[in-house]
Every structure is written in structure tokens, then in C-alpha cells.
Structure 1
Amino acid sequence: MVTTVSVAQVGALVGDPARVAMLQALMDGRALTASELAQAAGITRQTASGHLAQLAAASLVTVSKQGRHRYHRLAGPEVARLLESLMLLASDATAQRPRTGPRDARLRLARTCYDHMAGWLGVQLADALVARNWVEIAEDGALVTEAGLDRLADLGLDAVVGGRAKLQCRPCLDWSERRPHLAGRLGAALCTHSLQRGWVRRQPGSRALDVTPAGWRAFHDLFDIRPPAAS
């Protein structure tokens, strides 16, 4: 049962800068050790272990053991949505100029949001699917149309999620673009498909994604998406 106390406990946990830094480091869906998370937060490993124990007790992260290492992940996409919403609110509260979102141009262009793509590219993909009537997006939800199921299956995305019936999606408000990108199984499948095809590559130690020349060609041919004009 959700109580005011339990809500306050979660709020207190995500109100600590070190814990927030560790949670943000896990936003790209990777599993990291306490040492790696301590480095991301700029704290000692012992301090990080204490923070991680609290986050695990509150079901914000999960822990798995492999060999002599313990790996930590976000407990699920709902935790990523919580963090993305907090970043959106924080950028509004501290904004001193109209530009929103991360200052790093690479993060603004394309990044992972847990298991799906965000940033300018994620929003452009959502727009392209809507323009083709493959996906319908409303303020409170999204769905893949029958035509969309057929066309996305032709691209092989049904194989990524285990069948066309599982190509569900939902809108996720992008905190740098302030418009929705796609999450859910379809959003995750688009991200996985793009990584497998070499259209995008992960940047080490970052949520940012590099779009390859082959990726720009594919995004143009399939979705009429061109690289953004230099700002």
C-alpha cells in the first residue's frame, strides 16, 4: 500500500545528489558495479555501497551477482520515467535561458532513456511514425495502428520483441525537446534494432548515442530524417 511515508521515503532517496548521480549513471540501462557508480558520483566505494543498499531496499535498483562482482540496475522503466520527469522539472526550475535539456550537443541529438531512444532523434522517429500513420499518439497514451504493425514487422521489429502483437508503445515526454518520443516495447525495439544494425553506437561512459553514416542513410531512407542543421 502506498502511504505518505513511503512516498516521502522515495523522495528523500532521490533528493541526495550522490544517489541521483548514481541513478542517472544507470539511465542507459547498463548494469554497473558499486565502484563504477562511486566514480560516477564522486564518492568512496564504501559510501556508494551504503547508498545502493538504501536504493535497493526501496526497489529503485536491483542487484545481481556474477562471479565476485555485484551489478546494479534500475529496477525498471518506471524508475527511469521518474528520473526523466524530475530532470524535466529541475530544468524548468533552474533555467536561466530558453534553451532546455542537456548542454552536451551529443546528448541533445540522441541518447538512451533506459531502454529506448530519446533526444532530437527519438522525437523525430516518433514524428515520422505518426506522419506515416504507423503510430497514433495522444496526451495520455499511444498505439501502433494495423498498418504500422505490418510495416514495422517488415522492418523486423516484431522479431526483436517476439511477435507483432507485442509491438506496444507509449509516449514519453522528452526533457530536452519537450515533445514525446516513443517508449514501451516499440521504443525499446527501435533502439535495439538501431544498435544491432550499426545505425547508432553507444558512447563509452555516457547515455549519448553516435549516429553512424549508415544510420543517417537508413533514417533518411526509411523515415525521411536528415541530420539537424548545425546550430
Structure 2
Amino acid sequence: MKEGPDIARVAALLGDPARANMLTALMGGRALTAAELAQEAGVTPQTASSHLAKLEAGQIVVPRKQGRHRYFTLSGPDIVEALEVLMGIANRVGHNRVRTGPKDPELRKARVCYDHLAGDMGVALFDGLIKGKLIENTVNGVVMTDAGVAFADKFGIDLEALRRKRRPLCRECLDWSARQSHLAGSFGAAMLDRFYELGWARRVAESRIVRFERDGERQFRDLVNF
């Protein structure tokens, strides 16, 4: 018997089209019910329950009970990272769906991808940080420059606290609607949290939409232009 992680089992759990649609819906970080996930996957509630049981047994999703309702979330940020990598591979090798990304213009403009900013404004943030030489692409991935460290401190982000976390500080994530990169990792998440704290933007209830206030969007665009 071969030893080591059973990647075939994980790949099989992620690879079913209905389950892939469910997991993609959960990338927004919001807990969803089986009925909501059935709608996302385009299957019956009974079929959705069967899929969720397999995902739960495989520790890909975890259930949470609230009153009479049972909600599901992804078991950790590494699941999001795996899905994002698979999306990037699918895009690179040409396995794309006819429609890229959501129809809703607000979702295309700015939305949550697990815990960081995605959509057109997420791409603008990534590009602005690159052009401002605050982060840079290297053979080892996205890294923060000395200028980026100074910027983070000035912008009110505690990098030392972020570095103590187990996840990468900066990571490139392919945006599935814009087909360009946005910023993931703990710094990407911290940037979005800071936009919320400053009142620049807010997350729309029961949605993945991130809606910027008029003045907040102006300040955001000033920021990404550097």
C-alpha cells in the first residue's frame, strides 16, 4: 500500500460538477443551507444532501447549527486556496465556461472571495500595489517590498500579527470574472477589513457584494493609483 496523503480522494470530492458549484458558492465565506446550495448546484435538495454528506465526511465542509437551521461552511482557507488554484489551472488550459463570472454588475465590480476583495476593484488593488512597488511577483510568488511594509504600517495594518498566522502574507489569486489577478493571503484579507473599518465600503447583507461608498471609492482609487 502506498503511503502519504490520499490526493485522489480529495480530488474526487472537489471534482464532481455539482459539488464544485457548491464549494464555489461557499468561497464567499458565508454559511449557506443545504437548500441554498442545492439551488447553486442546480440539483434537488435530496441530491444536495447526499453531496454535502460526502463533503462533510471528507472534512471539506463543516456544518453549523443555528436554531432549526443547519448551515455549511468551508473547513478552512486551504480549501479556498485549492479551489482558486484549480480555477487558475482551468483557465490556463482552456477549460472555461461560456460565461465568466456573475451577471450581476455589482458582483463583477467588487465582491468577497472568501475574505479578500475580488472583482474589478480587487484587480485594481493588486495592480496598484504592483505599480506602486509595494508588492512584487517573484519566482517564489508574491512578496511584500520594504516600501510595502512602510505602507502597511501607515495604513493601519499590523504585519507582525499577520506574520504569526499560518497562511501566506501575500498570494496571487486568479479572479474568475476579470480573468486577472487579485490579492489573497492574510494581507489581502487585512486590506479589505481596513476598508470596512475606514467606512470606505461595506458588505451587503446576505450577499458576496462589497459596496463602496462614493467617497470611499474615490479614496480607494486614489490609493491604487499611488
Give the TM-score taking structure 2 as reference length.
0.79
Measured after TM superposition, the shift of residue 139 of structure 1 is 4.7
Tell me which of 93, 96, 112 is aligned to 2:95.
93
Counterpart CA distance in 2 for 1:95 and 1:49 is 25
3-state SS of paired residue (1:93):
coil
Q: How does 1:1-231 map to 2 (within 5 A)?
A: 2=4, 6-90=6-90, 92-94=94-96, 101-102=100-101, 104=103, 105-158=105-158, 163=161, 165=163, 168-224=169-225
Q: Report the alpha carbon displacement of residue 183 of structure 1 after superposing the two structures with TM.
A: 1.0
Paired letter, 1:172: C
Q: Which amino acid aligns with 2:216?
A: G
Measured after TM superposition, the shift of residue 73 of structure 1 is: 0.9
User: Equivalents in 1 of 2:7, 2:144: separation in Å?
Assistant: 34
Query: Distance between the aligned counterparts of 2:88 and 2:208, measured in 1?
Result: 16
Tell me the secondary structure at the aligned position of residue 163 of structure 1. helix
Residues 172 and 183, structure 2, Cα contact 8 Å, conserved in 1: yes
Q: Note the alpha carbon deviations across 1:22-72, whole angstroms, 9 max, x for none.
A: 212211111223233234334444432321121122221122334444331
Between 123-132 and 204-213, the greater mean CA deviation after superposition: 204-213
Moved over 4 A (4+): 88-91, 164-167, 203-206
Q: CA deviation at 1:205?
A: 5.0
Secondary structure at 1:157 match in 2: coil
For residues 50 and 202 of structure 2, what CA distance do their matches in structure 1 show? 33
RMSD (Å), alpha carbons: 2.9
Q: Following TM superposition, by how much is the alpha carbon of 1:125 offset from its aligned partner in structure 2, in angstroms?
A: 0.9
Q: Which runs of 5+ in 1 are unaligned?
A: 226-231
What is the CA–CA distance in structure 2 between the aligned matches of 1:118 and 1:156, rounded to whole Å?
Answer: 21
What one-letter code is carried by the residue in structure 1 that aligns with 2:172? P
- Quote the sequence identity (%): 46
The Cα shift of 1:221 comes to 2.8
Once the two structures are superposed, residues 71-100 of structure 1 have per-residue CA deviations (whole angstroms, 9 ceiling, x without a partner) of 31112222223323444455532466xxx7
The answer on whether the counterparts of 2:137 and 2:143 sit within 8 Å (CA) in structure 1 is yes
CA offset digits 1:132-152 (Å, max 9, x no partner):
222222253122223322221
